[in-house]
Amino acid sequence: MAAHDPDAPRERGTAAPTVASRLFRILDAFSAQRPAMTLSSISRHSGLALTTTHRLVGELARWGALERDAAGHYRIGLRLHELAALAPRGMFLREIAMPFLGDLYEATHQNVQLGVLDGTEVVYVERLSGRGAVPVASRPGGRLPLHATGVGLVLLAHADGDFQEEVLRAPLKRFTDRTISSADRLRRVLADVRRDGYVISDRQIELSTLSVAAPVRDHTDTVVASLSIVVPAAEVDPMTLVPAVRAAARGISRALGSATPLAGRNPKTG
């Protein structure tokens, strides 16, 4: 029996994939786990026939979206990085936030992160990290679930109610035995975040780390990002970091035009 060609014409009544959709499938095949791939690997992970992959990868490489090394592996090219720099929600926010992220890093020499909401995940637009900082799972441009991260919990707590219910109804992935995995507990934590103005996410992604996060607001007082610091869980009292994290988040918010002070009361661990 002949192998099925994923690029072959579809059955009547179903739309054939467009050239654009095939290009996106090629780009989407790359990830943090697969930053460099051969043509055959791109074909396999994109679900496109090898002949189609060869033609489209060539076009992407000529345009600069992909780059080919001496060993024949392809990587994301600088042209895409140039375009990504034009994204206002990420890069403009990053430019405003960098002085405050830098100050918080200099005061702690730990991981300082800035994240925004994208779908049901948090996307990290910046991370500052020193050689002595605890290793973390996040990276600039990387994604993690909202319920299992400090920045994600802040963003989810201030999201639209219908969106919150969508997340609460979905399975909550467990990373450690400390990960929030029940809708009832997540609902309580989100209420605490809105009341207290920050959250402590304790060993949810890795048992070696915890984070303290606070919201960043824009000129309409909408929460548009979240700032966090990630520290060794066994070595640092997170309560000592809350004032500095909240002050940095407040500074970014004011730079974005927000006039609303962060909510505040005695902290509670989430």
pLDDT, residue 139, reads 80
- Residue (of 97, 142, 147) closest to 250 by Cα position: 97
Q: How confident is the model at residue 129 (pLDDT cuts 50, 70, 90)?
A: confident
| CATH fold of the domain at 87-256 | Beta-Lactamase (3.30.450)
pLDDT at 86 over 80: no
pLDDT, residue 49, reads 94
pLDDT at 5 over 70: no
pLDDT, residue 3, reads 42
pLDDT 10s digits, 130-180: 887 888 888 877 889 999 999 999 999 999 999 999 999 999 999 999 999
Q: How confident is the model at residue 259 (pLDDT cuts 50, 70, 90)?
A: confident
The rounded distance, in Å, linking the Cα atoms of 38 and 50 is: 11
pLDDT at 267 over 50: no
The rounded distance, in Å, linking the Cα atoms of 160 and 163 is: 5
112: enclosing H helix or E strand: strand 111-118
Contact criterion met (CB below 8 Å) for 175 and 206 = yes
Q: Please give the mean pLDDT across all residues of the chain.
A: 87
Q: How confident is the model at residue 15 (pLDDT cuts 50, 70, 90)?
A: low
Stretch among 73-87, 169-183, 221-235, 247-261 having the lowest mean pLDDT: 73-87
| CATH fold of the domain at 19-79 | Arc Repressor Mutant, subunit A (1.10.10)
pLDDT at 4 over 50: no
How large is the average pLDDT for residues 192-200?
A: 96
Between 254 and 258, the higher pLDDT residue: 254
Between 267 and 171, the higher pLDDT residue: 171
Sequence-distant (6+) residues with CB within 8 A of 156 are 117, 146, 147, 164, 167, 190
CA distances from 33 to 12, 29, 30, 36 (A): 37, 10, 8, 9
Domain boundaries, the chain: 19-79, 87-256
pLDDT 10s digits, 29-67: 988 778 899 999 999 999 999 999 999 999 999 999 999
Of all residues in the chain, the percent with pLDDT exceeding 70 is 86
How large is the average pLDDT for residues 228-234?
A: 93
pLDDT at 128 over 80: yes
Q: How confident is the model at residue 265 (pLDDT cuts 50, 70, 90)?
A: very low
The rounded distance, in Å, linking the Cα atoms of 229 and 160 is: 25
pLDDT, residue 270, reads 39
pLDDT, residue 211, reads 95
